[in-house]
């Protein structure tokens, strides 16, 4: 049985059934994602939400504020690709490029990433989108400073 994120949050006692029901009722009206509503209402922090989402998809959660980003991994993927897919290359381990992603449901172009990086395997970890955007800004040269 696959658990939905709201049920996972309730089972982990991070939110109540009442909070989930309220969120789902609002979701029917607004079509926002469950997590967005829960975070907006202050029922759960963004970090706790993403940690639970990582559990749901069997991914490791990485807090980019505390993670080391290997410059050699950054060199393997152009900034334009990182921005387009909202990902951050984190590390190279043997023949695998480890990338931070923000949405485990979004299909990534693993073949393209493999060709760009020169590595046959891509492994994803889950990161918060705001942290990925910050990491892209921090670890890639600004577009105006790149040579054409």
Alpha-carbon torsion 78, 81, 102, 45, what sign?
positive
Residues 76 and 51 in one domain: no
Are the C-beta atoms of residues 140 and 82 closer than 8 Å to each other? yes
Same domain assignment for residues 139 and 86:
yes
Shared domain for 37 and 101, answered yes or no, is no
Domain presence at residue 42: yes
Do both 77 and 131 map to the same domain? yes
pLDDT of the residue at 2 = 57
Residue of 90, 70, 82 lying closest to 116 (CA atoms): 82
The number of residues in the chain equals 148
94-113 mean pLDDT: 91
In which domain, by residue range, is 43 found?
5-57
- Please state whether beta strands 96-101 and 121-126 pair in parallel, antiparallel, or not at all (unpaired): parallel
- pLDDT tens string 26-62: 999 999 988 899 999 999 999 999 999 999 999 999 9
CA atoms in the 13 A half-sphere facing the CB of 57: 18
Residues 79 and 141 grouped into a single domain: yes
Does the residue 78 lie in any domain? yes
**Residues 43, 76 within the same domain:** no
- Phi first, then psi: what are they for 90, rounded to 5°? -110, -45
Tokens 């892209």, residue?
136
Q: Which of 18, 33, 57 is the last residue of a domain?
A: 57
Mean pLDDT score, 18-24: 94
Report the domain count for the chain.
Answer: 2
pLDDT band at 105 (very low <50, low <70, confident <90, very high): confident
> Does residue 148 register a pLDDT over 70?
no
Query: In this prediction, what percent of the chain has a pLDDT beyond 90?
Result: 78
Segment 124-128 mean pLDDT:
96
Say whether pLDDT at 1 is over 70. Answer: no
Judge if 77 and 135 occupy the same domain. yes
Is 146 a residue whose pLDDT tops 80?
no
- 131 and 90 together in one domain: yes
* pLDDT (mean) for 78-82: 95
Inter-residue contact 79 to 140 (CB < 8 Å): yes
Average pLDDT, the chain: 91
pLDDT confidence of residue 118: 92
> CB-based burial of residue 103 (10 Å sphere; 0-12 exposed, 13-18 middle, 19+ buried)?
middle
**Domain CATH number, residue 86:** 3.30.300
Contact between 47 and 128 under an 8 Å Cβ cutoff? The reply is yes
36 shares its domain with 91 = no
User: Concatenated DSSP letters for 70-86?
Assistant: -HHHHHHS-HHHHHHHT
Q: How confident is the model at residue 144 (pLDDT cuts 50, 70, 90)?
A: low
Q: Considering the domain boundaries, does residue 109 fall inside one?
A: yes
**pLDDT for residue 71 is more than 50:** yes
């Amino acid at each position: 049985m696959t658990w939905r994120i709201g049920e996972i949050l309730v089972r982990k006692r991070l939110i109540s059934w009442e909070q989930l029901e309220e969120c789902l009722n609002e979701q029917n009206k607004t079509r926002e994602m469950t997590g967005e509503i829960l975070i907006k209402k202050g029922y759960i922090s963004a970090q706790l939400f993403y940690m639970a989402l990582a559990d749901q998809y069997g991914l490791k959660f990485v807090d980019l504020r505390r993670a080391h980003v290997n410059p050699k991994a950054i060199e393997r993927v152009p900034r334009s690709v990182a921005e387009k897919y909202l990902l951050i290359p984190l590390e190279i381990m043997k023949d695998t490029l480890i990338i931070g992603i923000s949405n485990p449901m979004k299909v990534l172009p693993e073949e393209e990433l493999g060709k760009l990086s020169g590595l046959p395997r891509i492994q994803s970890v889950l990161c918060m989108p705001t942290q990925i955007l910050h990491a892209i800004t921090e670890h890639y040269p600004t577009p105006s400073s790149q040579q054409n």
